[in-house]
Amino acid sequence: MKNVIELSSIIFIAFLLVFLVSAIIFTIIVPLENPFTFQFSEILIVILKLVVSFGLFLIWVFIIQKIITRYLKKKLNS
Amino acid sequence: MNLGLIEYGVVAMAFIITYLATNRLISLLVGVKREVLDYHKEGKSFVAYPGGPAIIFGLISSLLVSIILTNDIRIIAILGVVIISSTIGIIDDFKSLGGRKKPLLLLLASLPIILLGAYEPNLDFLFFGSAKLSIIYPLLILISIPVTANTINTIDVLNGVSTGFVIITAIPLLISLFLIGDSSMVLVTLILISVCLAFFVFHKYPSKVFPGDSGTLTLGAMYGAIAIVGGVELIGVFAILPAILNSFFYLSSMRDFVEHKNIKVRPTRVLKDGTIEAERNDDAPITLVRLIVAGNPSKELPIVNTIFILSIVSAILATIIGILTWVI
């Protein structure tokens, strides 16, 4: 069980990042008012919010993947 | 919020039914030689498979009694999710559906929640308050059930992991639902834990039975359904983070929905003495087990215990978020 502390740290980092992403979504993206007045603008703003949220999710995946790949390389070379 | 003696009786009934059904099923499966190789043991060890029908029987019978007791439409929706996901799982156990077809079919398991309207389109999160997602929420439900079902399915690689993992990660849901005061969902979560505990007696290391896709998909789908219907979605996400990471590593390294049995280069290798070591080949998928044994070859039991420790870490973090959200 040598790797348990390092893996727990990775879980904790992943948790903090999910927390951060959720905070951004909850405080900035979701409450965003619709600035447009044209027809179907409601749908457009929903799609925009969805795309930005998905982008944040991809950033989370990218960061975690980098951390994991570095960890695996270090461990396999040790 | 109070659960009466009858409700606790239903939870005990779920345990007894699953325990007896699993015990009987193991004898039946061994009798008809329906066993699979336990890949991570030294020598050739065969284990009864699939034990999922016993889990399904325990869940469905207890949920039916709960519906009679509570008359709660949300439990009917959860029962619908369990029936559809278990049907897909049983088909997959006997005739492999393939890596892509399975998640697509699991979209159907989300329908009972959407069609019965057994959800509130709000997400509650700490001091950030509640977000109303009227349009997006049904889409999130549609994706969530296949995600949780496949997540529990993907982590089921070692003896006792899937059921032990569900037991540990259901506790934050239970605490959050208790704090909210939702007695129906507390009852359903206790049933899930109870059924898993009964199956875990036979599934723990060294396993006498494997749950198969029928067991893991059903448990994962029900876990997701409780999180959605009970309005504790984010707690569920935080709690199963190790399994979610496992699924993402696997998917991103394979770049496709590939079944474990169809992997060309396995993530780990089993040495003659039963020690499991990480595969050095870059083409091997990244999995939680590979990360655990990387530079640290281990026997199966310490790896299982490490997965449980990581689950406890994420369960504690999820519980803290739950307490902060609904107490403060």
pLDDT of residue B29: 97
* Nearest-angstrom CA–CA distance, B246 and B314: 13
Nearest CB partner across the interface for B252, out of A25, A65, A74: A65
8-state DSSP, B298: B
Other CB atoms within a 10 A radius of the CB of residue B61 amount to 18
Instruction: Give domain status of residue B295, yes or no.
Output: no
User: Would the CB atoms of A11 and B294 count as touching at under 8 Å?
Assistant: no
Is the pLDDT score of B111 beyond 70?
A: yes
Least confident range of A13-22, A37-46, B139-148: A37-46
Domain that holds residue B37: 5-231
Sequence spans of domains, chain A: 4-77
Which residues of chain A does B136 touch, with a Cβ-Cβ cutoff of 8 Å? 46, 49-50
Give A24-37 pLDDT, tens digit per residue: 888 888 778 877 77
- What's the domain count of chain B? 1
Dihedral over Cα of B113, B118, B121, B122: its sign: negative
Q: Which tokens hold the place of A25?
A: 């979504």
| B194 pLDDT tier (thresholds 50, 70, 90) | very high
Instruction: Give domain status of residue B80, yes or no.
Output: yes
> Of how many residues is chain A composed?
78
Q: Looking at the complex, does the CB of residue A34 fall below 8 Å from at least one CB of chain B? A: no
pLDDT, greater one: A36 or B192: B192
Instruction: Give domain status of residue B245, yes or no.
Output: no
Those residues whose C-beta lies under 8 Å from the C-beta of residue B239, and which sit 6 or more positions away, are: B169, B170, B172, B173, B314, B315, B318
H helix or E strand, kind and range, residue B134: none
- Burial of B328 (C-beta count, 10 Å sphere; 0-12/13-18/19+): exposed
Instruction: Give domain status of residue B262, yes or no.
Output: no
Instruction: Give domain status of residue B133, yes or no.
Output: yes
Nearest CB partner across the interface for A11, out of B290, B294, B310: B310
* Nearest-angstrom CA–CA distance, B322 and B328: 10
pLDDT, greater one: A24 or B108: B108
Instruction: Give domain status of residue B250, yes or no.
Output: no
Instruction: Give domain status of residue B46, yes or no.
Output: yes
Give B256-282 pLDDT, tens digit per residue: 666 666 667 888 898 888 899 998 888
Report the chain B residue with the minimal C-alpha distance to residue A67.
B249
* Nearest-angstrom CA–CA distance, B113 and B148: 15
Instruction: Give domain status of residue B71, yes or no.
Output: yes
Q: How far is B146 from chain A (nearest CA, A)?
A: 18
Q: Looking at the complex, does the CB of residue B276 fall below 8 Å from at least one CB of chain A? A: no
Nearest CB partner across the interface for B135, out of A46, A61, A78: A46
* Nearest-angstrom CA–CA distance, A42 and B109: 29
